[in-house]
Amino acid sequence: MDIQTFAEFIRTQSEPLQYAAFFGSLLVLGALEIAFPGGVARPHRWPANVGLTALNIVVLGAVPVGALTAADFAQAQGWGALNLLDLSWPAAIAAGFALRSLVSYAVHVSMHKAPVFWRIHRVHHSDPTMDVSTTVRFHPAEFLITMPIVAANVVLFGISPLAVILYEIFDAAMAVFTHTNLRLPAVLERMLGLILVTPNMHRIHHSAEQPETDSNYGATFSWWDRLFGTLRTRTPEDLTAMRLGLDDWIDGRTDSLMWLLSLPFRRVPLMGQRHGAVSVKPTRQLNVS
Ligand SMILES: [Zn+2]
């Protein structure tokens, strides 16, 4: 199969491939969570998480433009860094893939650092524990905000349409994998962690301790956190005992879909005020498995 035929196949099958990567990972890793003791975490969170997932699928389907439209536009115009270079197709795909993951990293950092973005992104962090259902526990507004930022960066870097599609398929599977409530064997964790974000790394990002929430921003490759000094690690014992979620205001409401949808507009602690400044409800000690 030459590159042209491959690109056409990926292009025509991009949606089924993305859904297969997402739902396939969800089924396999979800089944493993059920099979292993301690893998299933607080099932009463699931209706809210599944509700947000369904809403986000509808919202994403309704948005007429995205990263692929931006990549097509940049390629047609010859805009963007990679389109200005005379790269071979493997080099263009590899560079596009790496730059697309850098964009995800940078957008994620901005969701934590800009107070208005954090109001929306904290819906994801409000989950008091983690499993595959946390994967798409995002407020729909997050996609509406991040999509134009990602699209603008795809044009700026001139990321090719094929690199964009391949990254989105990879990202769909990685998103489920990194939220899985399973510990990998230590050797596998160490080896994978040299290149990829692992469930242990991403678990630290969901810690109730703010310095840890503000670390491990990577979604796919771990090297951006290494490069920018935002990587944190913990021992396996620490990870098991670690409290997850947003400690200041965890209570039963985080299981309510309606409450989560209204959360960006609520007066609750912003990043930087989370510890000590505002006390909404007593902290619940969670049994995180
Ligand atoms: Zn985050």
Domain ranges within the chain, ordered by starting residue: 10-265
- The C-alpha atoms of residue 78 and residue 6 are separated, in whole angstroms, by 22
- Please give the distance of CA 272 from its chain centroid, rounded to a whole number: 22
Residue 270 has pLDDT above 60, yes or no: no
From the CA of 121, how far away is ligand 1's center (Å)?
A: 7
Tens of pLDDT, residue by residue over 159-187, are 999 999 999 999 999 999 999 998 899 99
From the CA of 206, how far away is ligand 1's center (Å)?
A: 7
Cα distances from 1 to residues 6, 29, 267, 277, in angstroms, run 6, 31, 56, 60
Tens of pLDDT, residue by residue over 117-174, are 999 999 999 998 899 999 989 999 999 999 999 999 999 999 999 999 999 999 999 9
Identify which has the larger pLDDT, 38 or 206: 206
From the CA of 227, how far away is ligand 1's center (Å)?
A: 18
pLDDT at res. 279? 34
From the CA of 281, how far away is ligand 1's center (Å)?
A: 23
Q: Which residues of 160-181 are buried (b: 16+ CB within 10 A; e: fewer)?
A: bbbbbbbbbbbbbbbbbbbbbb
From the CA of 111, how far away is ligand 1's center (Å)?
A: 7
From the CA of 110, how far away is ligand 1's center (Å)?
A: 9
From the CA of 81, how far away is ligand 1's center (Å)?
A: 28
From the CA of 214, how far away is ligand 1's center (Å)?
A: 8
From the CA of 181, how far away is ligand 1's center (Å)?
A: 17
pLDDT at res. 247? 65
From the CA of 197, how far away is ligand 1's center (Å)?
A: 13
Number of H helices, E strands in the chain: 15, 0
Q: What is the mean pLDDT of the chain?
A: 88
pLDDT confidence bin for 287, thresholds 50/70/90? very low
Residue found under tokens 């396999």? 28
Query: Model pTM?
Result: 0.89
- The C-alpha atoms of residue 103 and residue 85 are separated, in whole angstroms, by 19
From the CA of 4, how far away is ligand 1's center (Å)?
A: 37
Residue found under tokens 């309606």? 258
> Residues 94-98: contacts with CB within 8 Å, 24+ apart?
95/163, 96/157, 96/158, 96/159, 96/160, 96/162, 96/163, 96/164, 96/167, 97/163, 97/166, 97/167, 97/170, 98/221
From the CA of 108, how far away is ligand 1's center (Å)?
A: 6
From the CA of 117, how far away is ligand 1's center (Å)?
A: 11
From the CA of 136, how far away is ligand 1's center (Å)?
A: 12
Residue 99 has pLDDT above 90, yes or no: yes
Q: Based on C-alpha coordinates, what's the Rg of the chain?
A: 19
From the CA of 82, how far away is ligand 1's center (Å)?
A: 29
